[in-house]
Structure 1
Amino acid sequence: MEAKFQTFLILLAVLAGTALAARRFNVAPAILLMLAGVGLAFVPGMPPVELPPELVLLMVLPPLIYSASVAMSWREFKNNLRPIVLLAVGCVIFTAAMVATAAHYLIGMPWTIGFLMGAIVAPPDVVAPLAIARRLHMPRRLLVILEGEGLANDATALILYRFALAAIMTGSFSLPLAAGEFMLIVAGEIAFGIGVGWLSLRARKWARDPQVELTLSLITPYIAYWLPEHVGGSGVIATVACGLYVSWNGPLWISSATRLQGIFFWDLIIYLIEGILFLLTGFQMRDLYEKSKAFPLDEIMIATAVVMVVIIVARFAWLFPATYLPRMLSKSLRERDPSPPWQWPFTLAFTGVRGAVSLAAALALPFALPGGEAFPYRDLILFVAFGVIFISLIGVGLTLPPVVRWLGIADAGRHEHVAEHEAEISARRQALEAALKSLDTMTEQKDISDEVIRLLRARHEIRTNQLPDSLDPSHHDVSATGTALTRELIAAERKFIHVLLRDGQITDETRRRIERDLDLEEASLANREYKGAPL
């Protein structure tokens, strides 16, 4: 137990150091984390660290999916439902079929094994490509589509995976029966996920305690995921539906104290989960290396190369027709949603990074068939899954930034970011005006002293003056200078409060209350600060 705890502390230390290095060299953290995991795996004396598939599929996946769903806008998800479904369902099935075809004719696998491997490597990961895309300030719609695809495609892939595995274990498969079961799973999980979200919000509203509410929020994704998964579904769709319901309805039910603490709580949880997951994925290289000694190396390399080429080609071959063909066939769609420039589907096609879910699905394969014979091609599927994850993560992570620059995608993202920030300033002003009208109404209806009214109006005047009048460089420089000076003033207040505490003029409890107000003010500055989008 002590050795395992020491290994866990080493992983945390490497996670923190790798994050700092990634920020220093402006590299996606996922890339360095996986490379660090591979390096640690071969350090002499380092104990092997396994990646149990149930850890990923039952423990790690629910909070990752739920957190991303809550952070996503239901309106944007709904407005982009067509491309999201085309990618999360259509592209996954198409890719799995193409991998099965290539595996059958080029590698010599049976069709069922080929479809099984296709289901394993078909779904792109949501974490790594989205983190890279956000760093590049790509247009909002591309980010929404990528995030929506990453949330839902695991469900399609895991359902295909179970169908293929059942066909191998039983020796029978019915396409109409599988299609009907697929639709039933989707409908049932959507209804169940919404129900869990509804119950979660009402339980949290009833609790009225931030610690209890955060505990309930942590339990919510597991309730939404585990029950559908236990009865034969995927659990992913239910978790996504639950998260989107909470995202849309939560602001009216969750208190400000819970929301402020929840942001930090969930950011830390997701940071640790994602980081350790990439480290553990890299750690598997050691075990795979030992297994590969008893396996023809050229067969591993050929199979990995074939599958890698197929999933790249399949994604490009699907995305361009899926983008332009519906608009060619539907005039109303063409008028409502004009065709995007070719650079957009090209960028979406280029970001097909595979992640830990693919490796977990490969690790979860049984070692033997019901008759006792070894599961066919199990080790080869495992080698291919890890190779595809490693190559796609490193390849896309290093090449996506120059590709985005070459395509000019970031320029559209910059203009969009400026427009979004201007809309935010306008919304803040309108909200303050609405609050001021409410103050006028309360003044007429209630007996409020002039001193209280002056204080409230002064508060609104201060908040209004904090909003920038323009986003042009000169005004931005003035705002940035004011923000920097305000931070220095807050730091001076902190030093003075510490002096008062040291001299015994205030208690620690008083100091903590004052520091909390200063922390909130500084966090508000960071939240309001406009940041450009240089590549």
Structure 2
Amino acid sequence: MTDIVAVIHELVLLLLIALTVILITRRLAVPYTLGLVIVGLLISLFGFLPEIHLSPDLVLFVFLPALLFEGAWSISVQRLRQNWLIILLLAVPGLLVALVLLAVPLHFFAGLNWEDAFLLGAILSPTDPVAVLGLFRQLKVNQDLSTIIEGESLFNDGVAGVLYQTFLIVVLASLGQEPQGGQVWLEGIERFIVEAGGGLVIGAACGFVVSRFVKYIDEPLIETTITIVTAYGVYLLADFFHMSGILAVIVAGLIFGSYGQNRNMSERTREVVDNFWNMVAFLANALLFLLVGAQLNPMQFLSTQDTLHLMITAGLAIAAVLVGRFVMVALLPNRFQFAPGERLRPWRFVIFWSGLRGALSLALVLALPLEVPDRNALIFSTYAVVLFTLLIQGFSLRLLLKGLPGVS
């Protein structure tokens, strides 16, 4: 039986650590996610917290809906419409190009089979805009550029989430039997179409119904509770029908956060709900990074017989993520309707260097079933990529933004 007192004790301790981190990072004028990843690494190396095990269900059903709904709720739909072309190109064809460029070297040089290579590619596809957008606000970066980064992250979360579920099905289908080759992949593609379509329909239907319902209520506490029920209820409903809960939450959050919020909520209610979900997003990010840090000790991975394989896989993953990101941004057309030509070059570089990985990638990799053969390699590689992008790209981004013309 779970020791409730111990759980509460650990939760309070983690929240105190998170609070300390955010206070220090604000004084240092750096995004709090950068501080969290450093503290998480220290926790894992020195064992400051007792051993904690994050179950896949805890990650999937507690952290994911909160992170996804807050991102969809808070984004400006009007600015999404203005920048829809570049967001679409980055989130769909661009993501697929980067996925292939990641999977190929992992298969040929790290020894991963195709199923695991594409699964890791899907895990590393979602970008995390939290650190980037906080820095953008501090430096007053152009709002359209901020919307591109945030919108791309939101929609590639959905696409990557469905790809993750699809490749995971392919991986699990190949276990304990002779590989069925093309048949397994065809079934995976069919499942991708069904899950994506079903998730879109469920999310749209629920988002519209709830948006109409709150029109008849003007009580901030009740409407805040409705948003919680929507975020988790839509995810559970889609999961019950074996559809994409990730896409369902994103679509429901977009509809509720634009149509429902703007037309059917009072200004007082919107302020209360915004503050609530900002807090939830912070807590989810903070707890996820710290819990991962408490559970994942890199030295434990590096003290096994697979050390060389883990290091090669992680190094290739970091290099492939950068190459894939560079290629997907380089393939963008030279002009867009939202941006004058003279802004394209610095904007293109900022979009490339802002492709940080974070909470969602960690959540997806930790949700992998224990029977996945290369699970340790996938977890270690994901954590290595998150560390690299947050520490190297995240810390250098401020200096790069200050030196680039045309981004403000």
Please give the TM-score of this superposition, normalised by the length of structure 2.
Answer: 0.89
CA gap 1:229/1:128 in 2 versus in 1, 3 angstroms: farther
Quote the Cα distance in structure 1 between the aligned partners of 2:272 and 2:12.
Answer: 25
Match of 2:392 among 385, 388, 395: 395
AA aligned opposite 2:302: S
Quote the Cα distance in structure 1 between the aligned partners of 2:370 and 2:258.
Answer: 44
Q: Structure 1, residues 42-101: CA drift from partner, whole Å, max 9, x if none?
A: 445630223333333222222222222222121211222221122222222222211211
CA shift for structure 1 position 336 = 7.6
CA shift for structure 1 position 107 = 1.3
AA aligned opposite 1:51: L
- 2:72 aligns with 69
CA shift for structure 1 position 383 = 1.0
> Counterparts in 2 of 1:444-483, with a 5 A limit?
none
Match of 2:402 among 394, 401, 405: 405
- 2:280 aligns with 269
Segments of 5+ residues of structure 2 without an aligned counterpart are 174-178
CA shift for structure 1 position 181 = 4.6
State yes or no: 1:16 paired with 2:19.
yes
Q: Is the partner of 2:280 in helix, strand or coil?
A: helix
Match of 2:207 among 173, 197, 204: 197
Quote the Cα distance in structure 2 between the aligned partners of 1:51 and 1:135.
Answer: 34
The total of aligned residue pairs comes to 396
- 1:365 aligns with 368
- 1:158 aligns with 161
CA shift for structure 1 position 183 = 4.2
Match of 1:279 among 290, 296, 300: 290
Quote the Cα distance in structure 2 between the aligned partners of 1:397 and 1:233.
Answer: 34
Q: Is the partner of 2:344 in helix, strand or coil?
A: coil
State yes or no: 1:381 paired with 2:378.
yes
Match of 1:206 among 208, 216, 221: 216
CA gap 1:217/1:306 in 2 versus in 1, 3 angstroms: same
> Counterparts in 2 of 1:516-535, with a 5 A limit?
none
CA gap 1:280/1:128 in 2 versus in 1, 3 angstroms: farther
Quote the Cα distance in structure 2 between the aligned partners of 1:296 and 1:246.
Answer: 47
CA shift for structure 1 position 354 = 1.2
> Counterparts in 2 of 1:15-54, with a 5 A limit?
15-43=18-46, 46-54=49-57
Q: Structure 1, residues 485-521: CA drift from partner, whole Å, max 9, x if none?
A: xxxxxxxxxxxxxxxxxxxxxxxxxxxxxxxxxxxxx
Does the 8 Å contact 1:57/1:357 carry over to 2? no
- 1:309 aligns with 319
Quote the Cα distance in structure 2 between the aligned partners of 1:167 and 1:44.
Answer: 36
Quote the Cα distance in structure 2 between the aligned partners of 1:343 and 1:177.
Answer: 42
Match of 1:321 among 328, 331, 339: 331
RMSD: 2.4
Does the 8 Å contact 1:77/1:144 carry over to 2? yes
Quote the Cα distance in structure 2 between the aligned partners of 1:115 and 1:305.
Answer: 16
Quick one: higher RCO (CA 8 Å, sep 6+), 1 or 2? Answer: 2
AA aligned opposite 2:91: A
Does the 8 Å contact 1:100/1:111 carry over to 2? yes
- 2:359 aligns with 356
Quote the Cα distance in structure 2 between the aligned partners of 1:306 and 1:207.
Answer: 53
- 2:176 aligns with none
Quote the Cα distance in structure 2 between the aligned partners of 1:52 and 1:310.
Answer: 29
AA aligned opposite 1:204: V
Quote the Cα distance in structure 2 between the aligned partners of 1:105 and 1:92.
Answer: 21
Does the 8 Å contact 1:130/1:143 carry over to 2? yes
CA gap 1:233/1:142 in 2 versus in 1, 3 angstroms: farther
- 1:234 aligns with 244
- 1:418 aligns with none
CA gap 1:41/1:304 in 2 versus in 1, 3 angstroms: closer
Q: Percent of aligned positions with the same letter in both sequences?
A: 28
Quote the Cα distance in structure 1 between the aligned partners of 2:267 and 2:346.
Answer: 41
CA shift for structure 1 position 176 = 5.9
Q: Structure 1, residues 342-399: CA drift from partner, whole Å, max 9, x if none?
A: 111111011111113222322233333xxxxxx4322111111111111111111111
Quote the Cα distance in structure 2 between the aligned partners of 1:184 and 1:41.
Answer: 40
State yes or no: 1:258 paired with 2:269.
yes
CA gap 1:265/1:360 in 2 versus in 1, 3 angstroms: closer
CA gap 1:297/1:78 in 2 versus in 1, 3 angstroms: same
Quote the Cα distance in structure 2 between the aligned partners of 1:352 and 1:295.
Answer: 32
- 1:445 aligns with none
CA shift for structure 1 position 203 = 2.8
CA shift for structure 1 position 8 = 1.2
CA gap 1:143/1:155 in 2 versus in 1, 3 angstroms: same
Does the 8 Å contact 2:317/2:381 carry over to 1? yes
CA gap 1:177/1:147 in 2 versus in 1, 3 angstroms: same
Does the 8 Å contact 1:38/1:284 carry over to 2? no
Q: Is the partner of 2:271 in helix, strand or coil?
A: helix
Please give the TM-score of this superposition, normalised by the length of structure 1.
Answer: 0.69
CA gap 1:270/1:362 in 2 versus in 1, 3 angstroms: closer
- 1:517 aligns with none
Quote the Cα distance in structure 2 between the aligned partners of 1:35 and 1:322.
Answer: 34
Does the 8 Å contact 2:63/2:363 carry over to 1? no
> Counterparts in 2 of 1:144-155, with a 5 A limit?
144-155=147-158
Quote the Cα distance in structure 1 between the aligned partners of 2:292 and 2:189.
Answer: 33
Does the 8 Å contact 2:285/2:359 carry over to 1? no
AA aligned opposite 1:135: Q
> Counterparts in 2 of 1:53-202, with a 5 A limit?
53-170=56-173, 171-172=179-180, 173=182, 178-179=188-189, 181-202=191-212
CA gap 1:366/1:205 in 2 versus in 1, 3 angstroms: same
Q: Is the partner of 1:123 in helix, strand or coil?
A: coil
Quote the Cα distance in structure 2 between the aligned partners of 1:285 and 1:210.
Answer: 40
Segments of 5+ residues of structure 1 without an aligned counterpart are 328-333, 369-374, 414-535
CA gap 1:103/1:2 in 2 versus in 1, 3 angstroms: same
Does the 8 Å contact 1:41/1:48 carry over to 2? no
AA aligned opposite 2:385: V
Q: Is the partner of 2:356 in helix, strand or coil?
A: coil
